[in-house]
Amino acid sequence: MANQRKVGLKIEIDGEKEYKQAISELNKGNQVLASELRKVSEQYKGNEDSIEALNARGDVLRRQLQQQEDKVKTLRAALQNAASQYGEADKRTQEWQVQLNNAETQEIKLRRALDETNKEIEQQGSDTQEAGQKMATLGDQVSGLADKFGIRLPDSIKGALDHVDGFSTGTVAAMGAAAAGIGAVKLAIDGVRAGIEAAK
């Protein structure tokens, strides 16, 4: 009977020790990921809203969440083990319960942070797509502008303009306004010249 008690006690201690060891390893993994997240924040400082920064942050948060989910599962198992071995009112069981509550709270925070980051990534993608739709090719816009003045651009020029980057619709609209002003001045000058010729 004494031997059975010793064997049972050894299993209890080893079980407790294994859970503590597993939690310790998970905590070290969480520390590594937390340092990685700080590194990402520093790396993209001043450019936190860029798609690259958001993707890097999202990647670390996903791994942190997976690690935290593992920790929560391990703590639940440790709590059940302690409750069956010592009873729910035992100090050791209650300590496991506190750790589990804290781990679940952290899991909720990580899930929320990841959801917010994913929403920002989706918004960035949506904004980029919208900007792309608003931006016509430079060749199309200049060609349209030329048509207003009765000028037909050759396809070769239009094609060359299509490969020019960095012009937004607003830029071309401003160019169009300036060109329209120049065109109006030219028409006025042509009119004056025609009047002078007629007077001669």
pLDDT digits (tens, 9 = 90+) for 116-142: 999 999 988 665 555 555 555 555 665
Is the pLDDT reported for residue 73 higher than 60?
A: yes
Q: Distance between CA 9 and CA 109 in Å, rounded?
A: 38
What's residue 149's pLDDT? 58
**Residue 79 pLDDT class (50, 70, 90 cuts):** very high
Q: How far is CA 17 from CA 28, 35, 82, 113, in A?
A: 17, 27, 12, 33
CA distance 3 to 130: 75
pLDDT tier at 102, thresholds 50, 70, 90: very high
For residue 163, give both structure tokens.
Answer: 């490969």
CA-to-CA distance for 131 and 136, rounded, in angstroms? 10
Predicted local distance difference test score (pLDDT) of residue 104: 98
Q: Please determine, for residue 9, whether its predicted confidence score (pLDDT) is greater than 80.
A: no
The region of weakest confidence among 32-41, 59-68, 116-125 is: 116-125
Q: How many other C-beta atoms are found inside a 10 Å radius of the C-beta of residue 103?
A: 23
Segment 62-81 mean pLDDT: 96
Write down the pLDDT at residue 138: 55
Binned at pLDDT 50, 70 and 90, residue 2 comes out as very low
Alpha helices in the chain (DSSP H): 2-43, 51-86, 91-134, 138-148, 155-162, 169-199
φ/ψ of residue 135, rounded to 5: -90, 110
- ∠ CA 125-130-134, nearest 5°, is 150
Contacts of 19 (CB under 8 A, 6+ apart): 74, 77, 78, 81
Torsion-angle region of residue 136: left (phi > 0), alpha (psi -120 to 50) or beta? beta
Q: Identify the pLDDT of residue 6.
A: 41
pTM of the model: 0.58
Q: What percent of the chain stands above pLDDT 70? A: 55
